[in-house]
Every structure is written in C-alpha cells, then in structure tokens.
Chains A and B, each alone.
Chain A
C-alpha cells in the first residue's frame, strides 16, 4: 500500500533521513519507534505531502505522491504532533472545515462530525473555542480531524503523548478498530512500551536510518538481547543479591524487595544457568518462591539500537 524507496532528506547540513526504504500493507499497525530527532516526523511529513523536497520515491497504491493534482491526500488522515488550530474556531467548526476540505459531502458531514467527536471523546467540547481547551483535549481534537473522513491510511505522530491513561486506552481502541477494517495505521513514539502491545509491525529508526523492521515476535527472536531469568523468594526474606556473585550473570535488576531479574551471559545455556542459580540460592538457605525464564522486552532491542537516547 505504501512504499518508500531510498528516501533521504536533509535540513541544511543535518541529515534527517538516510536512504530510508519501507513497505507497508493494509491491515497493519506500524509502530515507528525512535528517539527524539530520529526522523519520524520527517518521514510522516513526507508521506502527507508537507515536505516535498526529498530525494527518493514514495508511492501509495502504486501512485507517486508527488504526482501533480493528486487526490491521494484525501485518503490519508494525519494527526500531527504539534499542529495548532486558529484560535477563533470552535471544535465543531474545525471539524466542519476539515471535513469539507477532505471531500465530505455537506449532507453526511454532521453525522461524520458526531461520530468523530464521540470516538475521540470530546463531544461535550463541540461548541468550545480552541483557546478554552486543555492540552489533552486539543490532542484529541487532532485525532478527531484525522479520523473524520474515514481515511484508508491513518498517520499518528506521537498520539499518546500528553494523554491520561483513559484517553490512551481510547486512542489505542481507535487504532485497532481502524486496522481491523483493512486500513493501514502508522503510529510513532519514542517510547516503545507505549505501542509494544499495539503494533503488528515495528520499525526502529535511529539517526535517520531504519535499523530494523519486523513483527514484535520477529524482533524479539532475532535479537535475543541476553536471556533473562526472574527469581522471587518468600516474602519477608531479606536477600542480598550479591550471593549470586561469580555466576554468569551480567546484571541483577531488583524488581521489588523479594524478586529480581537476572540478565544472563548470552554464552551460557539457559538451563545450566538456572541450575547454577538455584544451587547458589539453596546453598545460602534462601527460600525460593519461583524461578522462570522471561522473554526479553522489545525495549531492550530498541535500547540496543538507540544506545539510550530518548
């Protein structure tokens, strides 16, 4: 559905994107992950036509998005990270204008506005002026204008930032609903855990280059960033994790007073490691409550590429 071939974009001497290639299809929720300044917004602005002076080729359903007079943009809904609204407008008026500009007929516009307001959870604000809205409500209005015309492609730039937990849940539900109707949704974030359970495909972007793409499971399997074992002991036990010193453990990450995640040396066999840990704990009379292998999180895969940048 969307193809980016060798796309590059520079701002003066700063290279925002280097030779970026991506292929996305309908029904996917593409999680676009990278630290601030990695090039996520630049990619989205290219996709939505806001940036035209880039090198490379971008097409939607086989049509170059730079084709003069293209109506492709009517099929895209874009929720920018920081776009403002003219202050004299009310919420309803914002949606009326953008609905008409997106090609919605005046006869169906009122219903489309009602639906978008309801989905974004801002129906009670419909008559309010932009200047009287909170930051979170403005964020949800950005979402409402993006979904108003039921686009085939929904591009959401950091949609969860600045939202309370209930609103985050609502946004995620909208994203899932869109993707379930055989549409493509692109969601960016610099916090992987925000969209780890949401995205069906993930692209990790760092310093303008795509480092890796794949499904969450593929990325986890491809990048076993060290095995992790979680150990818990009987509540009330005072434990000094130094007792595990000398074992093939790279790092001990205490979770609470009676549990810890042990990041193992990747060169050692998992079962051998568990055996050694158990023996050491028992030898120190530590009452083990549980011990289990933990799948490394995508956060660790991400951190490996971004080296701790945020």
Chain B
C-alpha cells in the first residue's frame, strides 16, 4: 500500500520533471533527426540507432537525474516528512526506482516504436525484425534499470550535487554501455538474451540493496 502511494506520487513528480519531458519528446525527435540528417543508412534499420540512443542518452540522463534529485532532496530534508510516518526507507527508494524506470520505458517504447514505423514506411525491414526489436527493448530496459540503480546509489552516498552528477555521468553513461555489452562479448548467440536479462535483474537488485542499506544507516 505504502509502495503504491509512493510509486504513484513519484510518477506524478517525474511527469513534472523537465528531464523526463525532454526524454519523452527528445528521444523520438532525435530518432527522426537521425533519419533526416542521414537518410542513407546503408540498409541499417533506424531501429538500431534508436536502440543505441535510448541505452546511452536515456541511461546517462536517468542516472544523473536520480542522483542529483536524491542528493538535493536529502539536503533540503524532503525525506524527513516521509520517514516520520510508517514508511520504510527502502520503500521510498524502490518507489523512486520503479517510477523512473516506468517513465524511461515510455520514452524507449515511443522512440523504438517511431523508428519501427519509419523503417516500415521506408521498407528497411529485415528477417527476424521482431527478434531484433525485442533485443533492443531488452537492452534498453537492462541499461535503464542499471543506470537508475546507479543514480539512486550515488544519490544516497554522495552529499555534493555536483560530484553526484559527474560520477553518474561517467559511470551511469560510459561504463554502463560496457556492462550491457558484456553478455554479447562473452557468450554465444543463444544465451545472450537470457544473460542480459539476468544481468538486468541481478545488478540493479544488488545496487539497490546497497543503496537501501546505506540509506538505512544515515541520520537525516
């Protein structure tokens, strides 16, 4: 019950966030812009570029947004009023995590969907398109989940908003790309989706467990 209240609340908050609005509008726009700037993609579907963009831009922005948001809210003692009620600290963080992930997935789906429409119109379709789309969505979800968890961990760990933003930008963006590609680099084709999925569950869970433990020990 508490989670549902907080989750809905955070969704409402993110819907007012300029970063999320920019992602909802910006990512699909960028997808179209790529097509406009580079009409000849040498047979490569736009879906491929859209997927890469969602993973990198969406992931980086979510990490930076969450870490600076939490650092700022801690500084302004925003959580005091939540935690003097029967609310667990972990629930507060989990609600933030899932709400941000929901908003980011909306941006990812809109962006990938738009790319699919453009590819269909242009006839740049290839066999196994459904599988490809599924793969991009999976990588997007995993990337966004890891970056959101990284953002939350930095948010509770770091006091300085600037430092929090810089670290999230670096780790949430650059290193994240490398982590997501690990299954592709280390495994054969059939196992990649499975291990990507596992990575997407285990790594964010581990990061969130650490974040909750750290937050539980902090005096507000």
Q: Which of A71, A83, A100 is within 8 Å of B81, CB to CB?
A: A83
The answer to whether B73 touches A101 (Cβ under 8 A) is no
Q: Is the CB of B85 within 8 A of A102?
A: yes
Question: For the complex, is A51 an interface residue (Cβ under 8 Å from B)?
Answer: yes
Which of A74-82, A233-241, A274-282 makes up part of the contact surface?
A74-82
Tell me which of A52, A93, A101, A142 contacts B82 (CB under 8 A).
A101
B110 CB to closest chain A CB (Å) equals 22
For the complex, give the distance between the alpha carbons of A102 and B81 in Å: 10
Residues from chain A with a CB closer than 8 A to the CB of B219 are: 11, 45, 50-53
A211 at the interface (CB under 8 A from B): no
Task: Kindly identify which residue among B6, B76, B84, B86 contacts A78, using a CB–CB cutoff of 8 Å.
Answer: B84
B220 within 8 A of A: yes
**Cβ-neighbour of A100 out of B5, B73, B80 (below 8 A):** B5
How many angstroms between the C-alpha atoms of A142 and B81 in the bound complex?
A: 9
How many inter-chain contacts with C-beta < 8 Å in the A-B complex?
A: 70
Q: Are B81 and A88 in contact (CB under 8 A)?
A: no
Q: How far is the CB of B214 from chain A (nearest CB, A)?
A: 13
Q: B187 at interface (Cβ–Cβ under 8 A)?
A: no
Closest to B10 in A: A86
Q: Which chain B residues lie closer than 8 Å to A71 at the CB level?
A: 86
Q: Is the CB of A88 within 8 A of B83?
A: no
A189 at the interface (CB under 8 A from B): no
What mask results when residues 70 to 111 of chain B are scored 1 for a CB within 8 Å of chain A, else 0?
000100111011111111000000000000000000000000
List the A side residues contacting B26 at CB < 8 Å: none
In chain B, positions 36-80 with a C-beta closer than 8 Å to chain A are: 73, 76-78, 80
Question: In chain B, what residue has the closest Cβ to A76?
Answer: B84
Interchain CB contact under 8 A, B82 and A50: no
Compute how far the CA of A277 lies from the CA of B217 in the bound complex, rounded to whole angstroms: 63
A73 at the binding interface (Cβ < 8 Å):
yes
The complex places the Cα of A45 from the Cα of B5 at a distance, in Å, of 24
Q: Evaluate whether A101 and B78 lie within 8 angstroms (CB atoms) in the complex, with A50-B219, A51-B220, A86-B73 already known.
A: no
> Cβ of A56 < 8 Å from any Cβ of B?
no
A103 within 8 Å of B (CB atoms): yes
Query: Which residue of A is nearest B2, CB measured?
Result: A101
Q: Are A97 and B84 in contact (CB under 8 A)?
A: no
Which residues of the partner chain B approach A93 to less than 8 Å between Cβ atoms?
A: 12
Residue among A53, A84, A97 making CB contact with B9, cutoff 8 Å: A97
Cα-based distance from A49 to B219 in the complex (angstroms) = 9
Quick one: given A45-B219, A97-B9, A101-B2, are A50 and B80 in contact (CB under 8 Å)?
A: yes
Distance, CA A73 to CA B219, complexed state (A): 17
Kindly list chain B residues whose C-beta atoms are within 8 Å of the C-beta of A82: 77
CB of B191 within 8 A of chain A? no
* Contact (Cβ within 8 A) A84 B76: yes
Give the nearest-CB partner of B17 in chain A: A88
- Complex Cα–Cα for A103 and B5 (A): 11
Known: A74-B86, A97-B5. A45 touches B220 (CB 8 A): yes
With contact pairs A80-B80, A86-B13, A86-B73 given, residues A53 and B86 touching in the complex (Cβ less than 8 Å): no
Which of B5, B80, B217 meets A83, CB within 8 Å?
Answer: B80
Closest Cβ of chain A to B179, distance in Å, is 31
Tell me which residues across on chain A come within 8 A of B82, comparing CB atoms.
98, 101
- Mind listing 7 A-B residue pairs with CB under 8 Å? A45-B220, A50-B219, A53-B217, A80-B84, A82-B77, A98-B82, A102-B86
Given contacts A50-B219, A73-B85, A83-B77, 19 further A-B pairs with CB under 8 A are A45-B220, A49-B83, A50-B83, A53-B219, A74-B86, A76-B84, A78-B80, A78-B81, A78-B84, A83-B78, A83-B80, A86-B13, A86-B78, A89-B13, A100-B5, A101-B82, A101-B87, A102-B86, A142-B81
B residues sitting closer than 8 Å to A (CB atoms) are 2, 5-6, 9, 12-13, 16-17, 73, 76-78, 80-87, 217, 219-220
